């Protein structure tokens, strides 16, 4: 990692990938692992408390929970999977959306300040171990193994010689690259966003405390940028949770669609 010289008094070492490798808290358990468990507790507590005393005229808490449910059910699951077949997948899509959202939002919560999905292993595990098994199993259950594979990797209406090139590409995409790209989208956004916040925050701290007198006023700009980027990052965190759930539902919808 290179060093950025800002003043005669010292150097500023910009943050990088090493700052995401957090030391173990105890027994090999790291902060991201704790945050994953914490996110599950938060989501469970939110829905359990909101639905404990259901009423026709909902409280603000119940209304918030119903709004999140309706959004996951109607705006994601039903729109992407289809009105006839979406209902069995609503719990999964809702869980994916809320789980991703809470773990992303951790990045701007004071004290916590770490988006869990900035570690590629977490979104990759969701994609490989949860989303794509459901995606393929749903298609196989509907069409049978042979017809599903044919539908997925041998699109109709193409000259037969083209299949020699197209079919291996389709197999590679459907069974290998699609889950990887799904995970990389949210990972890259969380990693880059958190890194930008670190640059402005630590840079402002350095300019204020370590740099020469002429550069100290510049720290105000750096801190202002950190605040502005925090609001932008909050928007991106919500958007990426939505996109992750939306694409997951879209893949399931494709597996159930009659055409390719």
Beta bridge partners of 26: 29
145 in Cβ contact with 151 (< 8 Å): no
pLDDT for residue 260: 52
Q: What is the pLDDT of residues 219-253, one digit of tens each?
A: 899 899 999 999 999 999 999 999 999 999 999 99
Q: How far is CA 156 from CA 88, 135, 164, in A?
A: 29, 21, 14
Segment 179-185 shows an average pLDDT of 94
Q: What's phi and psi for 10, nearest 5 deg?
A: 175, -170
Is the pTM value of this prediction over 0.85?
yes
69 in Cβ contact with 242 (< 8 Å): no
Q: What is the pLDDT of residues 118-174, one digit of tens each?
A: 999 999 999 999 999 999 999 999 999 999 988 888 877 788 888 888 889 989 988
Token match 């298609």: residue? 139
- Distance linking the first and last C-alpha atoms of the chain: 47
| Selected residue with higher pLDDT from 104 and 18 | 104
- Residue 134, token pair as written in the block: 């459901």
């Amino acid at each position: 990692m290179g060093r950025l010289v800002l003043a005669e008094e010292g150097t500023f070492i910009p943050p990088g990938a090493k700052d995401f490798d957090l030391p173990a808290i105890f027994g090999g358990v790291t902060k991201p692992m704790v945050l994953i468990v914490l996110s599950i507790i938060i989501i469970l507590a939110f829905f359990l408390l909101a639905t404990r005393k259901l009423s026709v005229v909902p409280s603000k808490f119940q209304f918030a929970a119903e709004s999140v449910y309706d959004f996951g059910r109607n705006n994601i699951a039903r729109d992407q999977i289809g009105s006839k077949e979406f209902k069995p997948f609503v719990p999964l899509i809702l869980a994916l959306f809320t789980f991703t959202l809470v773990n992303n939002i951790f990045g701007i919560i004071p004290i916590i300040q770490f988006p869990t999905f900035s570690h590629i292993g977490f979104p990759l595990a969701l994609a490989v171990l949860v989303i794509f098994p459901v995606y393929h199993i749903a298609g196989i259950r509907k069409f049978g193994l042979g017809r599903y594979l044919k539908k997925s990797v041998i699109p109709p209406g193409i000259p037969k010689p083209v299949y020699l090139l197209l079919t291996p590409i389709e197999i590679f995409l459907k069974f290998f690259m699609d889950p990887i790209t799904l995970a990389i989208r949210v990972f890259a956004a969380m990693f880059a966003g958190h890194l930008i916040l670190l640059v402005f925050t630590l840079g402002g701290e350095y300019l204020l405390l370590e740099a020469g007198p002429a550069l100290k006023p510049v720290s105000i700009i750096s801190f202002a940028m950190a605040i502005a980027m925090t609001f932008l990052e909050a928007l991106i965190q919500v958007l990426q949770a939505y996109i992750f759930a939306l694409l997951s539902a879209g893949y399931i919808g494709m597996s159930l669609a009659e055409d390719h």
